[in-house]
Structure 1
Amino acid sequence: MKKKETPIAGLFELQFFNSTDSRGLFVKPFHQSSLENLGLTAHFPESFYSINEENVIRGMHFQLPPHDHDKIVYCSKGKLLDVVLDLRSNSKTFGKSMSFLIKENSFKGIYIPAGMAHGFASLEKGTIMTYLTSTEYHPDSDAGIRFDSFGFDWKIDNPILSDRDMTFPSFQDFNSPFK
């Protein structure tokens, strides 16, 4: 596993070990020792995935302290546009976002530190997004920022959104607890 720096401190693009032979493809998206050697959190007690229709936007999600968490996300099938927004008020990149195009056989994932909002747009029917999180889901700490409130162009005319995601506050109205 390799990590690639991004302009946002603590946010990394990961390149997963992969191997192809006559039998097919083998990919290792999680390897505790490799993450530790890269100086990253390697404890992920919860994993989950979502299967998405084309033009679905999920986000921008995070958990509030003290249940905030680091995440590793990757595309198991299909293609998606992954978006991360820095919510750390003391960060030089507070309020800045980054996006990553991730495909099922790109062998890459995104390491997202605590204090970031995360979302994605599914670009194909049946796209599967897989998540690893360093804390378990805590309903009272579940929070988000409206997907269309921080200046990011999703390039989707009629996105499919959940009612929940539409009720999140705007970035401008969010008082960040992250430092």
Structure 2
Amino acid sequence: MQIIINSSKIPDCYELKPKIFEDERGSFVKTFHEDVFKSYNLETHFPEEYYSVSFNNVLRGLHFQLPPQEHTKMVYCVEGEVLDVVVDLRLNSPTYGQFTTFDVSAKKANIIYISPGLAHGFYVKSDRAIMMYKVSTVYSPNEDTGILWNSLPIPWGSDNPIISQRDQSFISFNDFNSPFLYQPKN
């Protein structure tokens, strides 16, 4: 697997850029290879995978799971384009409370690697977007939660997105008592 791994301003959050193989039939992208991920000390155990279909102006997030069911998440877009957002919720992190954004699209085939203690959300820029997710723990309703999408100055692209009642009911970042602690890697 040929892949470029770019660090983001948030420790343990990466943008992965796999090689896109194109010919007259279309394209082919390998999104995961266990040995390659191991060589970069990235998570390789993903017991659950799912996808979402969303329409233009839809915002999903900012989601995460609490301990003991926190997880590493990999997300990528197989149709359309989104503004992808990651927020650092880890106490003692040099970027605690900060966010970073990525333009994620099927055309670019980029993948966002999100470590535990980071919240994730996205805003759909195209007519429709299909997002794939790989997670290192399975869905746990008791630990699944989020922070309010507009409680940080994130440039979402819309002040009035289509958002679920659940996502609108999350507490603000300032009211969130984080159980996550940043642990630098050696």
State the TM-score, normalizing by the size of structure 2: 0.94
Aligned to 1:50: 52
1:126 and 1:155 map into 2 onto residues whose CA distance is: 15
1:80 and 1:155 map into 2 onto residues whose CA distance is: 10
- Supply the RMSD in Å over aligned alpha carbons: 0.9
Per-residue Cα deviation, 1:113-171 (whole angstroms, up to 9, x for no partner): 00000000011122111100000000000110000001112121320000000110000
* Residues 57 and 162, structure 2, Cα contact 8 Å, conserved in 1: yes
Question: Displaced runs of 4+ in structure 1, greater than 4 A?
Answer: none
User: Does structure 1 residue 38 correspond to structure 2 residue 32?
Assistant: no
* Residues 79 and 101, structure 1, Cα contact 8 Å, conserved in 2: yes
User: Does structure 1 residue 27 correspond to structure 2 residue 32?
Assistant: no
Aligned to 2:137: 135
Of residues 111, 114, 122 in structure 2, which corresponds to 1:112? 114
User: Does structure 1 residue 8 correspond to structure 2 residue 10?
Assistant: yes
* Residues 104 and 111, structure 2, Cα contact 8 Å, conserved in 1: yes
Aligned to 2:126: 124
Of residues 79, 82, 90 in structure 2, which corresponds to 1:80? 82
Q: Percent of counterpart pairs with the same letter?
A: 46
Secondary structure of the 1:147 match is: coil
2:73 and 2:60 map into 1 onto residues whose CA distance is: 15
AA aligned opposite 1:174: F
Aligned to 1:146: 148
Of residues 168, 171, 185 in structure 2, which corresponds to 1:169? 171
* Residues 81 and 104, structure 2, Cα contact 8 Å, conserved in 1: yes
AA aligned opposite 1:29: T
1:152 and 1:80 map into 2 onto residues whose CA distance is: 14
* Residues 79 and 106, structure 2, Cα contact 8 Å, conserved in 1: yes
1:11 and 1:128 map into 2 onto residues whose CA distance is: 21
Per-residue Cα deviation, 1:75-108 (whole angstroms, up to 9, x for no partner): 1100000000000011010000000011111021
1:160 and 1:61 map into 2 onto residues whose CA distance is: 16
Runs of 5+ consecutive residues of structure 2 not aligned to the other structure: 182-186
State the TM-score, normalizing by the size of structure 1: 0.97
Runs of 5+ consecutive residues of structure 1 not aligned to the other structure: none
Kindly state the Cα deviation for residue 29 of structure 1 after the two structures are TM-superposed.
0.9
* Residues 144 and 168, structure 1, Cα contact 8 Å, conserved in 2: yes
How many residue pairs end up in the alignment?
A: 179
* Residues 78 and 109, structure 2, Cα contact 8 Å, conserved in 1: no
* Residues 17 and 29, structure 1, Cα contact 8 Å, conserved in 2: no
Aligned to 2:66: 64
